[in-house]
Amino acid sequence: MDEAISIGSEYLSKSHYSELVAEKYKREWLKYAVFLNKSDMSSEVSIASIHSYLKAVRNIDIEHDAELMDKFDKQCYRCLITLDCLANNKPVPRAINLIRFRVPISKDFADLNQEFKNFLVSHAYSERSVTSYISATKLFLSHIHVKFSVTDPADISDKHAISFLSQYDNKRSRKNLVNALNVFGKFLVQSGRQKVSFMLTMPSISGGSYQNINYALTEEQLVELLSALDTETAIGKRNALMVVLASFCGMRIGDITKLKFKNINLDGKFISFVMSKTSKPHSISYKGEVVEAYLTDYLDNGRPSHLSRESNDFVIVSHSAPYGRLRGNQHGMLQRFLDYASICASQFDHSGMHLLRHTYASMLVNNDVPLTQVAMLMGHSCIDQTVRYIQLNQRKMRLCAIPESFCIHGGRDSL
């Protein structure tokens, strides 16, 4: 155990963890070592002993109560998992996925989930959607199996869905779960397991009206947002670059954080990459001065100088240990910037970074760029996908309006 802690301390130092964080890790490791000594367990670090430690010290049973863990429990768990990886020569994960420790679903439901996955693939859902929907339905089936003892898909009802969704307070999380369950309900109907989808009788959980919802920033709001960006600090320059790449290039945040130096041609002023969502190659020209200015400023003055391109070839990186590709959807970051710019985030359907991709598409259309070209710039395979992104201004909406005579004289029959 002493050797494991020594290896862990050396890892924290090499990975440039702050002194405060390193002390927290070491303190948790020492408590774990004391627990092993007192409980007469093997002094070797193992997952089983870590689970026993959490159950004894924090009253958390990982295999059943993963969803009940607060942030301090999760921090403790990450400390111990890091020690286990170092002691047993395993790679240290950047994120701990607690979903895999939840109650396993029954074999029948496992087969059902696999069949649902095949259904999604056969209907050309993206790889990302397949992963998200399968994870959501696995959690749902686990919940109804444990709480309601449901074993037959035909018995699944709206009350089970309501019970499952009530565990999640975040509106966006619930919206994503509802989307997954809606598709799962269609699958049950098409496979003959239900006559009517259990989701059709679900009450609305949106938490509000969608009237007067905006899907993109106006040009004035975009200018205000750019003015609110911090371009003085290193982290500020990095965050500003992400906002600009999303606003002026229409890039998804996942593609922005995965950008490598080989993807950017500084001389030709274009970015080439494979889109994470579709796995298709895409190229974007950034001949405008705005993108070039923010990109140059970050590379010259913002990106940590001790991170060479050879040791870390990601353009957007974390500015704290362990250094590496920046992860997360940066939802909170954009909300802060909207607050700084005195822009109410609640007026938008999306208030995360995807709002800027909607803004990019809307700006293109409002500047008379043909829809076919907008679809190409967005990396869409068809115009139908692009139309959902666009917030047309009132002048263009009038151009698309149905003629008055068509409405008065009876629609289709009057043609």
Which neighbouring-strand residues pair with 273? 282
Please give the pLDDT value at position 388: 66
Q: Could you tell me if 87 and 4 are in contact, meaning their C-beta atoms sit under 8 angstroms apart?
A: yes
Burial environment of residue 303 by CB neighbours within 10 A (0 to 12, 13 to 18, 19 or more): buried
Fold agreement (107-190, 219-396)? no
Interior/surface letters 252-271, b for 16+ CB within 10 angstroms, e for the rest: bbebbbbbeeebbeeeeeeb
Token pair belonging to 366:
């409002």
Question: pLDDT below 50 — which residues of the chain?
Answer: 98-103, 206-212, 391-415
Burial environment of residue 139 by CB neighbours within 10 A (0 to 12, 13 to 18, 19 or more): buried
C-alpha pair distances (Å), 370 with each of 34, 154, 234, 361, 397: 68, 48, 38, 11, 15
Angstrom distance (rounded) from CA 146 to CA 13:
44
Please give the pLDDT value at position 94: 61
Helix (H) / strand (E) containing 273: strand 270-274
Angstrom distance (rounded) from CA 281 to CA 404:
45
In this structure, whether the domain defined by 107-190 belongs to CATH 1.10.150.130 is answered with yes
pTM above 0.85, yes or no: no
pLDDT tens digit sequence for 45-95: 888 888 888 888 877 776 665 555 666 777 788 888 888 888 888 877 765
Please give the pLDDT value at position 105: 64
Residue 176 identity (one-letter amino acid): N
- What one-character DSSP code corresponds to residue 252? -
Q: Could you tell me if 386 and 380 are in contact, meaning their C-beta atoms sit under 8 angstroms apart?
A: yes
Please give the pLDDT value at position 95: 58
Phi first, then psi, for residue 284 (nearest 5°) are -135, 130
Helices (H), 191-250: 219-228, 234-249
Own/partner contacts of 12-20, CB < 8 Å, gap of 24 or more, are 15/321, 15/322, 15/323, 16/320, 16/321, 16/322, 16/323, 17/321, 17/322, 18/320, 18/321
CATH domain 219-396 topology: hpI Integrase; Chain A (1.10.443)
Please give the pLDDT value at position 174: 79
Angle CA 186–205–105, to nearest 5: 50
Q: Could you tell me if 9 and 1 are in contact, meaning their C-beta atoms sit under 8 angstroms apart?
A: no
Please give the pLDDT value at position 410: 36
Please give the pLDDT value at position 135: 85
Domain locations along the chain:
2-99, 107-190, 219-396
Find all residues with CB under 8 Å of 347, minimum gap 6, and list them: 212, 213, 214
Strands 270-274 and 281-285: antiparallel
- Look at residues 214, 228, 211, 239 and name the one whose alpha carbon lies nearest to residue 298: 239
